[in-house]
Amino acid sequence: MKTKIAFAALLLGLAVSANAQKKIETTELPKAAQEFLQKHFSHTSIEVAKKDAEHGEKGYEVKLKDGTEVEFWKDGSYREVDGGKNPIPTAFIPDSIKDYIAKNYPNEKITHIDYGHKDLDVDLTNGIDLEFTKEGKFLKAD
């Protein structure tokens, strides 16, 4: 009986997970997302684009051939850019954040930026995690 319940729960989890992300064509991304990718990631191409309903919020997730992952809000504005351990382009990052990093971590590059509901999270090549307000004011380092 426990096995049947566990199996049913697993199937339900897979169904929900499969429903949460649906592969789409690049042309189905919002125009703002397409323009963002063209402007900042023209050096690589899109491996896969998905419509994403993570945490009840609709948006888009794009994986690039260089390994970078970009998430967009449903309007096409970027929510997260994750280069893994590799530096990401910074032209779209607020100047106050770039200036803070240049002054306090001059030898480090940004590998990840994530707009949360209340703050902005930035990871550096040395593994340090910085938090800023959405306006770009420094809050703390981890």
Provide the pLDDT confidence category of residue 21 given band limits of 50, 70 and 90: confident
CB 43 within 8 Å of CB 53 = no
CB 72 within 8 Å of CB 60 = yes
64-99 per-position pLDDT tens digit:
999 999 999 999 999 999 999 999 999 999 999 999
- The pLDDT of 122-126, averaged and rounded, is 97
Comparing 36 with 21, the larger pLDDT belongs to 36
The pLDDT of residue 57: 66
pLDDT at 10 over 50: no
| Edge-to-edge strand list for the sheet holding 129-133 | 21-24, 46-52, 59-64, 69-73, 78-82, 110-115, 119-124, 129-133, 138-141
pLDDT at 139 over 90: yes
Q: d(Cα 141, Cα 122) in Å, to the nearest integer?
A: 9
List the domains of the chain with CATH numbers: 2-141 (3.40.1420.30)
Lowest mean pLDDT among 15-29, 48-62, 68-82: 15-29
- The pLDDT of 49-61, averaged and rounded, is 81
What is the model's pTM? 0.82
The pLDDT mean for the chain works out to: 87
pLDDT at 16 over 80: no
